[in-house]
Structure 1
Amino acid sequence: MKRTICIAFRIAGISMLSFIVFTLLYLSGAYVCSRIAIGRDSDRGEDVAIYIKTNGVHTDIVVPVHTALAHWSHEVPYCNTRGCDTTCGYLAVGWGDKGFYLRTPTWADLKFSVAFNAAFWCSTTAMHATYYPKMMEGPNCRKIMISNVQYARLVQYIRNSFRQDEGGHFMNIPTEARYGNNDAFYEGTGTYSLFRTCNTWANTALAACGQKHCLWTIFDTPIFDKYR
C-alpha cells in the first residue's frame, strides 16, 4: 500500500514538474520570438489603407469593403449581420477557435472544456467578421499603407482562412452569438492551438503582405509594439 502511494506521489510530482517546465519554455519562447522583428519588404507602395485593431487580447485585420481587388460584401453580406448597415466601409476579420467565439462572450463564461479543446488541437475554427462605418486611429488601432500587390496577397490569405463550399462561397454560421449589430461568424480553416492563436494568424497576415511583424507571437501586444 505504501509503495503504491509513493509511486502515485512520484508520478504526480513528475507530471507537475513537467507541466511547469513546459509552461516556462513555452512562455520564454513566446517572449523571445515576439521580440524578434521582421521588417517590411522592399515594396513601399501606398495604394490601400489597412488597419490592425485589438480589443486588448485579440487582433483583427481591417480592410476596406470595396476596392478594385476585392468586394468583401459579396462573400460577407451585410444582411448576415443584425444591423445590415450597408453604409459601413470597413470590414474587420479575425480568425480563432470556434468554441471561444460562439460559447465565450466574456471571460467569465470560459469553460475548461472549451479552453482545453482550443489549446490541444481538438476543435474547429471560425472567422469573425465585423463591419465598421469608419476607422479611428489610436492605441488599439493602427493604419498601415500597402501597395496593390501587397493587398492582393493579403486578400488571398484572408480568403484562404474562410472555409468555402463547393461553389467557392464563404460558409456562414447561423448563430445567436454576436458581439454587436454588425458582426457575423463564418467557418474557418486550419486548427487553433497553443502555438497558433488568433494573434498568430494576424501576425502571419502582416507577413503575407510584406509588413512589419514578429518572428512568432501568441499575443497582440508585440504586434502593436512594431507600429507604435
Structure 2
Amino acid sequence: MAAAAKRALALLRAVAGWAALALGAYFLCGWIGSSFPVNRDFRETDDGVEILIATNGVHNSIVMPVRAEGLDWHRVFPPADIGNPYRPYTHVGISWGQREVFLDTPTWADLSPLLVLRVATMGGEGLMHVEHWASPQPSEHYRPLRISREQYRLLVRALLRDLPPPGQRRSYPGYGPQDVFYDARGTYTLYLTCNEWVGESLRRAGILTGAWTPFESSVMKWVERP
C-alpha cells in the first residue's frame, strides 16, 4: 500500500508539473503574440469617430456611439431587450464570449474551477454581450480611440460577423438593467478567447493591436490611457 501511495503521489506531482508547464507556456505565447503589432501604421484621426476600448480587468469590450456613420445600433440591439430601456443611452458596448461562462457566472465568485477546466479543454458555444451606456467617460477602464470613418465602418462589419439575423437569434437577461446577451456564431477556444475576439475585430478594422490577444492585457497594452 505504501508503495502504491508513493507511485500515486509521484504521478500526481508529474501531472501537476506538466499542467503548470503547459499553463506557463500558454501565458508566454500570449505575451509574445500580443507583443507583435498589427496595423502599425494606424494613427488616430481628428475628424473620425471616437470609440472606447473597455475593460473590467479580465474581459474587453468595444464601446461605440449609438448613432454614427449612418448606423443606429438601437435598430440592431433594441433598448426594449434590456431591463431599463428608458434611460437616454448614448453608447453600446459589444463583446463576445463562452455561453456558459456568460450565463452561469454573474459574478467571478460563481466561476467554478470545473467550469474553467471544461472551457479550457473543450471550449464552447459563443454568446454576444451588449451593454447600453449613457455618456461613458474616458478613464483607465474606458480608453478612447478616434478612428477614421472607414475604419469605423470596417469595425462595425467585424463586430457583426458572428451575429445571426434577427429572426434566428434569442436574447437572454443580462447581469443588470442595461445589458443583454444574444445568440452568436463561433466557438470559444483557448486560441479564440473573448479578448482575442476583440483583438481580431480591431485588426479587421485596421486599428493597431497585437497579432494574438488572448488576455485582457493583450488588448489594453496597445491603447493609451486618457
3-state SS, counterpart of residue 58 of structure 2: coil
Which residue identity does 1:35 align to in structure 2? S
1:183–1:223 distance in 2 versus 1, CA, 3 Å: same
3-state SS, counterpart of residue 161 of structure 1: coil
1:37–1:98 distance in 2 versus 1, CA, 3 Å: same
More strand by share: 2
Structure 2 residue corresponding to 1:192, chosen from 185, 188, 193: 188
Which residue identity does 1:17 align to in structure 2? G
TM-score with structure 2 setting the length: 0.86
2:142 is matched with 141
1:64–1:90: 8 Å Cα contact kept in structure 2?
A: yes
1:71 is matched with 72
3-state SS, counterpart of residue 154 of structure 2: helix
2:131 is matched with 130
How many angstroms does 1:127 deviate by?
0.7
**1:41-120 → structure 2 map (5 Å cutoff):** 41=41, 45=45, 46-85=47-86, 87-120=88-121
**1:138-217 → structure 2 map (5 Å cutoff):** 138-162=139-163, 164-165=164-165, 169=167, 171-175=169-173, 178-217=174-213
After superposition, the CA RMSD in angstroms is 2.4
1:141–1:10 distance in 2 versus 1, CA, 3 Å: same
1:142–1:42 distance in 2 versus 1, CA, 3 Å: closer
1:5–1:115 distance in 2 versus 1, CA, 3 Å: same
3-state SS, counterpart of residue 29 of structure 2: helix
1:74–1:86 distance in 2 versus 1, CA, 3 Å: farther
1:78–1:84: 8 Å Cα contact kept in structure 2?
A: yes
1:97–1:124: 8 Å Cα contact kept in structure 2?
A: yes
1:170–1:186: 8 Å Cα contact kept in structure 2?
A: no
Rounded Cα–Cα distance in structure 2 between residues aligned with 1:20 and 1:57: 21
Structure 1 residues 6-65: Cα deviation after superposition (integer angstroms, max 9, x where no partner):
765565454333222211211111122223333444676542111101111111101111
2:53–2:61: 8 Å Cα contact kept in structure 1?
A: yes
Unaligned runs of 5+ in 2: none
2:39–2:207: 8 Å Cα contact kept in structure 1?
A: yes
1:85–1:182: 8 Å Cα contact kept in structure 2?
A: no
Rounded Cα–Cα distance in structure 2 between residues aligned with 1:226 and 1:67: 24
Is residue 223 of structure 2 the alignment partner of residue 227 of structure 1?
yes
TM-score with structure 1 setting the length: 0.86
Unaligned runs of 5+ in 1: none
Equivalent pairs, count: 223
Could you tell me the percent identity over the aligned residues? 26
1:74–1:148 distance in 2 versus 1, CA, 3 Å: same
1:29 is matched with 29
2:65–2:91: 8 Å Cα contact kept in structure 1?
A: yes
1:69–1:152: 8 Å Cα contact kept in structure 2?
A: no
How many angstroms does 1:218 deviate by?
1.9
Rounded Cα–Cα distance in structure 2 between residues aligned with 1:40 and 1:61: 20
Which residue identity does 1:145 align to in structure 2? R
Rounded Cα–Cα distance in structure 2 between residues aligned with 1:140 and 1:43: 21
1:17 is matched with 17
How many angstroms does 1:139 deviate by?
0.9
